Amino acid sequence: MGAHRLAEAATVLGVSDDTLRRWQNQGRFEAVHADGRAGISGTDLARLAVEEAHSPGDAPSAASMRNRLRGVVTAITRDTVMAQVELSCGPYRVVSLISSEAVDDLGLEVGSLAWASVKSTNVSLEVTP
């Protein structure tokens, strides 16, 4: 997986740019270059998202049934037909069951950034260019 700019990664993790730089200085991840700027590898971003995920009790008590959550793919479990894709979207862990073909078509892998669209019991994933 490629690298993501620190500002983009901070938004996905729900922390400030300064917090992410502090984590870098503490050795929590090694900086890489992304589009000529300081960045973080997709796999390190996924690892930090899992480490920093909040418990479900931290979720708001009321939320709309229609939500679009931006996150980082933290795990993909697949067989020949279906795949389970886990995203860390700030304090939320979102799991989507989609076809393995869709995973390939979207180019999803651990560390990819994606949007989870939640409506009722369905979660759709899309990738921004």
Q: State the DSSP string of 92-128.
A: EEEEEEEEHHHHHHHT--TT-EEEEEEETTEEEEE--
Per-residue pLDDT, 65? 41
Q: Which CA distances in Å does 59 have to 20, 54, 87? A: 22, 8, 16
Q: What is the pLDDT of residues 48-96, one digit of tens each?
A: 988 877 544 444 444 444 567 888 999 999 999 999 999 998 878 899 9
With 0-12 CB in 10 A as exposed, 13-18 as middle and 19+ as buried, what is 14? middle
Q: Give the three-state DSSP class for 13.
A: helix
Q: What is the pLDDT of residues 12-34, one digit of tens each?
A: 888 888 999 999 999 999 999 87
Contacts of 91 (CB under 8 A, 6+ apart): 14, 53, 54, 58, 59
DSSP for residue 36: T
- 């304090």: which residue's tokens? 91
How would CATH label the architecture of 64-126?
Beta Barrel (2.40)
DSSP for residue 35: T
Does the domain made of 3-52 have the CATH classification 3.10.20.30?
A: no
Contacts of 36 (CB under 8 A, 6+ apart): none
Nearest of 80, 76, 88 to residue 114 by alpha carbon: 88
Per-residue pLDDT, 59? 46
Domain ranges of the chain: 3-52, 64-126
pTM for this model (two decimals): 0.59
C-alpha 52/C-alpha 79 separation (Å) is 28
Q: What is the pLDDT of residues 97-118, one digit of tens each?
A: 999 999 999 999 999 999 888 7
